[in-house]
Each structure stands twice: as C-alpha cells, then as structure tokens.
Amino acid sequence: MVRSPTVVVTGTSRFIGARVAGRLAADPRVGRVVGLDTATPAPDFADLLRDVDQVRADAGAASGIIADLDASAVVHLAVVSGPDQQYGGRAAMKEQNVIGTMQLLAACQRASGLRKLVVRSSTAAYGASFRDPAVFTEDTEPREVPRGGFARDILDIEAYVRGFRRRRPDVTATVLRFAPFIGSTAETSLTRYFAQPLVPTVFGRDPRLQFVHVDDALEVLHRAVVEDRPGTFNVAGPGVLTLSQAIRRAGRVAVPVLEPGLSGAAGVTRAFGVGRYGFDQIDLFVHGRVVDTSRLIGEFGFEPRSTQAAFDDFLRAHPDGALLAGDRLAAAEQAILDGIRRARATRAGDQRELA
C-alpha cells in the first residue's frame, strides 16, 4: 500500500463486508475505503460504515469505478453461501457469485494501479466424496464436481482467480477458504440450524465439522489486506466437533432423517424443509469437512480460536431453547447418584439391625 492507499470492498451491504470495510477505514495504514454493492447497506451497519464511501453499482460497472478510484487493493466479499428466495433464489445467487466475480476480476485485470486482491472463498472448494482424505490441505483437489450450488460457485470463483493470477502476476492475490462462520454475532443458515430445538441430521452419519469464529475471520481478512500474504489459505478453528457432539453441547435433540441415496436426495431436501437445506448442507452433513490450517498459522502468524471455543461462544449468545442443558444433566446425575446412595445406606442399615 505504498502508492495509492484506496481499498475497494465488495459486498458491504452484508455483515462481513460491512465489518471488514469499517475496520479497514479505522486502520491508519489504509487511506480511503470504498464499499461497492448493488444493495444499500442495512441501517444497522450505518455506524460501521461511517468512514466508508458507498458506491451503489453492480460488478459490471466495477471497471470504471476501480479505474476512477485508482484502487490499489480490492477485497471481494460479495459471495453468498445460500439462495435467498426473496431475492431471486438460486439464479440470483449464481449471478452474483459467478458472473459478479468474473466481471470484478476482469475489471481488476485492467486496473494498472492494482497491487492486491483478496477473495473470500470457502472450504466447500474441496467438494465431498467418500474417498476424500480426512483432512484437506490447500493442495487437495476435489475428487468429484460437488452437487451443491455454492460449492460449484466456489470452484468457478477460484478458477477465475487462477486465471487472474496468470494474467497479472504482479498483483498479490490471496484466496481465503473459510470454514462455516460461527460466533455470538454471526447469523448464517448454520447458526439458525443449531438454534432450532429439534435438529435434523442424516440417519447413520455423524460428520466432523469445523467452524471459524467470525471475529477471527475478520482478523484474517484484515491482515490479508494490510500485509502481503499471496496464496491460498484454509481459515478454520483447529479441532473438530462431530455433528452429534455439537448438537449435544447445544442441548438440542437430533432428529435423524433417512438419506435415500444420491438419486433420492431431493426427498431429503423436502424433508429438511424446502429451500432451507440444499445439497451443500446435505453433503456437509454426510461427509463432514476438516481442513489443515498450518499454512495460515505459519504465514499469518495468527491462530484462530478452536472450533470448540468458537462454538461455545455461539452457545453463550443463544442460551434459550436448549432442551438438555449441561447443568440440568449434571443435576440429574447427582440426583440419581444420591438416590442410589440413600437406598443402599438404608438397606445396609436394615441389614445391620438384623445382624
């Protein structure tokens, strides 16, 4: 950020984008921060975006904007993880993820002053197959084209970044593959899933899950902009929770749903509730997903808090709705133990009297 310290952040109408832009604007190492989004940010983010200039335009217009601003860095966060039925469903999601990235990267390629590109990706890039290794490193290639729309979008996005890297080797390109976000403030389809009292799972499957705390994700994004970290990085909390374990820690009750095989998976989608869970979620709940984060820790010098700690933070913020809370179980355990001890003491007393 030597020449022109202007940073363009896409997706500022959403939670992550607004937080990243707000934090960059507050950093003295960064000059101007411009938010680029098709939508106006929600009023809740007004405070965060106080020092951020908003430009309302789609990625197609990005070319002119990035050139006009002489931006030195672009942070691409306008990636949506699930279809929103209110805003055009899957078609709009793909339009934003794939076409949006393509147009933005085309604009970046033409921007001669650009020095840095940071792209939000996902660990969904590894796909889901029964022959997968247990732990994915950044070099693991997906074995099959994933079924989920989001996972396929992520593969397209990363393919565009690869092309961009080839054509603009002078730009420091960082791709961050995030595990699902969780934390006290995050609101995602996964946090809504764990907030239900009865949680649907796939019959006979107990996937290994990893989360990343939103605050740690923001820290990594921030460092990727103000430092030089070229390459692709997994960003996840070390450690693993199995789905059943997470559900138990949340005090929820699992409801296993039959998985009638690949062809009948649409039936599962219906059972899971129309539009709420797609192939992305089913694949995650069958296969699980664990990544190696040693490259992130080695190069960023930053270790996200563990998956368990991130999940605990989420639970503290959502204390209601737990059916089997830990303290209640502990109380039940003590009550049963006391009962048994009393019963045995009485019997021992009776026997002593007889003797």
Q: What gap in Å lies between CA 342 and CA 355, rounded to an integer? A: 20
- By rule CB under 8 A, what string of x and - marks binding of each residue 274-293 to another protein? --------------x-x---
Stretch that binds another protein, among 23-31, 105-113, 167-175, 202-210 (CB under 8 A): 202-210
In the set 46, 198, 340, 343, which binds another protein (CB under 8 A)? 340
With CA atoms as reference, report the closest residue to 194 among 331, 313, 274.
Answer: 313
For the CB of residue 351, give the shortest distance to another protein in the complex, in Å. Answer: 5
Would you count residue 355 as binding another protein (CB under 8 A)? yes
Cα-based angle 286, 245, 146 (whole degrees, multiple of 5)? 20
CB 53 within 8 A of CB 35: yes
Q: Identify the DSSP state of 61.
A: G
- By rule CB under 8 A, what string of x and - marks binding of each residue 77-106 to another protein? ------------------------------
Footprint of another protein on 316-335 (CB under 8 A): 324, 326, 329-330, 332-333
Question: Binding residues for another protein, how many (CB under 8 A)?
Answer: 42
- Provide the pairing of β-strand 7-10 with 73-76: parallel
Q: In the structure encoding, which two tokens stand for residue 149, read together?
A: 């729309």
In the set 77, 240, 284, 310, which binds another protein (CB under 8 A)? 240
Would you count residue 205 as binding another protein (CB under 8 A)? yes
Q: What gap in Å lies between CA 14 and CA 348, rounded to an integer? A: 67
For the CB of residue 344, give the shortest distance to another protein in the complex, in Å. Answer: 7
In the set 29, 264, 344, 346, which binds another protein (CB under 8 A)? 344
The CA-atom distances, in angstroms, between 207 and each of 137, 190, 201, 243 are 18, 14, 10, 6
Q: What gap in Å lies between CA 178 and CA 310, rounded to an integer? A: 14
Would you count residue 247 as binding another protein (CB under 8 A)? yes
CB 235 within 8 A of CB 305: no
Nearer to another protein, 249 or 305 (CB): 249
Q: What gap in Å lies between CA 59 and CA 102, rounded to an integer? A: 8
Would you count residue 241 as binding another protein (CB under 8 A)? yes
Would you count residue 131 as binding another protein (CB under 8 A)? yes
Would you count residue 249 as binding another protein (CB under 8 A)? yes
Q: Identify the DSSP state of 136.
A: B
With CA atoms as reference, report the closest residue to 70 among 167, 164, 4.
Answer: 4
Q: What gap in Å lies between CA 100 and CA 286, rounded to an integer? A: 30
Footprint of another protein on 133-152 (CB under 8 A): 133-135, 137, 140
Q: What gap in Å lies between CA 143 and CA 126, rounded to an integer? A: 8
Would you count residue 203 as binding another protein (CB under 8 A)? yes
Would you count residue 337 as binding another protein (CB under 8 A)? yes
For the CB of residue 292, give the shortest distance to another protein in the complex, in Å. Answer: 8
With CA atoms as reference, report the closest residue to 150 among 188, 124, 129, 120.
Answer: 124
For the CB of residue 19, give the shortest distance to another protein in the complex, in Å. Answer: 29
Would you count residue 54 as binding another protein (CB under 8 A)? no
For the CB of residue 239, give the shortest distance to another protein in the complex, in Å. Answer: 8
62 CB neighbour count, 10 Å cutoff: 25
In the set 32, 90, 165, 208, which binds another protein (CB under 8 A)? 208
With CA atoms as reference, report the closest residue to 114 among 195, 173, 46.
Answer: 173
Interface ranges with another protein (CB under 8 A): 130-135, 137, 140, 202-206, 208, 239-242, 244-249, 259, 288, 290, 324, 326, 329-330, 332-333, 336-337, 340-341, 344, 348, 351-352, 355
